[in-house]
Copies of this chain bind each other. A is one copy, B any other.
Amino acid sequence: MKKITMQDVASKAGVSKSTVSQYINNRFEFMGASTKLRVEAAIKELGYIPNQVAKSLKQKKTGTIGVIVANILHAFSTEIIRAIEDECERNGFHLFVCNADDQPEKERSYIDMLVAKQVDGLVIFPTNGNNDYYKQLKNAEFPIVFVDRMINEPIFPTLLLDNESASRIAVEQLAKKGRKKIGLVSTSIAQNVTPRIERIRGYKKALASHGLSVEEDWIVAEERQEIGKKLQNIWDTGSRPEAFFATNDLALIELLKFIKKNKLAIPEDIGVIAIDDSPFLETATTPISVIKQPTFEIGQNAAETLLKLIVSKDFKEVYEERRYPPILVERESI
């Protein structure tokens, strides 16, 4: 089946391509009423759908943005994407979604392809391996917004949780209940991922401000599959903390598995608090207290910021990062 083009519509309506184009774009100022009707009829009859690719080529804009997340399987990423998508839909934009899997090469390859596909902008959860490339894109005035992670130079708007506050709240909650020996569980910090680094830093600061000492042995920051072993090791050989702060959902899962395996009771034997919520945490025998991120707000603002940058092209030298306050959900695990 041959695709219907603007020319087909024009011929059928007995007008020129230009006139059809005017019609499609609602420029009716200088269009006769009968012409308008004829074009309208021809479009309907032929089932004409304008080719956006051709339009994009001429107009040098595609109404498309790319989102490169670390991994869409994280609820955090999913919620951000959903919020971005909603905001984009309101503005007639579409979303390419890509998973960089924390691999700078994969990230770079995606950026390359998305740029080649002429996306109007990008939302990136940046790995730290392409900072030079980001700078190039900045020089080319390519609109980008960073989410969840910072790179060393804030050359694009960056939106993320106030991680240190989140840790402070976590420690506060535990300390309030008299917990003095507070451990931390995190996924690996080998790649210097902003939230993990900041959460650990915030945790240490908070301990200090509560007059508690930092016990490096109680800080577990490993690849996911190592966490259980490391926890068991602490439990079996060292002095035991009275509570753990899990800095994200994956760390929490491993922590809960460990707690289950050792038949510990929450909060009697061990206190637990974590960053990131899940509906199942509410239904646990002891519901787990968590610190939520305002994911939808972050995602929506990221999209708003990007769309604004796309139209204004008003780039600043550097940007102050935008921090979001964490949200405490008090349950019974502390």
Q: Which positions in A face B, CB cutoff 8 Å?
A: 1, 3, 49-54, 56-57, 60, 62, 64, 71-73, 78-79, 81-82, 85-86, 89, 94-99, 112-118, 139-141, 253, 256-257, 259-260, 278-285
Contact = CB atoms under 8 A, between A and B. Distances in A.
Contacts of A95: 96-98
25 contacts: A1-B139, A3-B60, A51-B118, A52-B117, A52-B118, A53-B53, A53-B117, A54-B57, A57-B57, A64-B117, A72-B85, A73-B82, A81-B97, A82-B99, A85-B98, A85-B99, A94-B96, A94-B98, A94-B117, A95-B98, A257-B282, A278-B280, A280-B280, A280-B284, A284-B284
Contacts of A98: 85, 89, 94-95
Nearest to A286: B285
B62 A72 contact: no
A259 B283 CA distance: 9
Given A72-B78, A86-B99, A284-B284, 16 more contacts: A49-B116, A51-B57, A51-B118, A52-B113, A52-B117, A53-B57, A54-B57, A64-B117, A71-B82, A72-B81, A72-B82, A95-B97, A96-B96, A96-B97, A260-B283, A280-B280
Contact of A94 (B73, B113, B279): B113
B280 A49 contact: no
Nearest to A255: B283
Nearest 8 A-B pairs (CB), nearest first?
Answer: A256-B283, A280-B280, A285-B285, A97-B97, A52-B116, A52-B117, A253-B279, A53-B118
Nearest to A67: B97
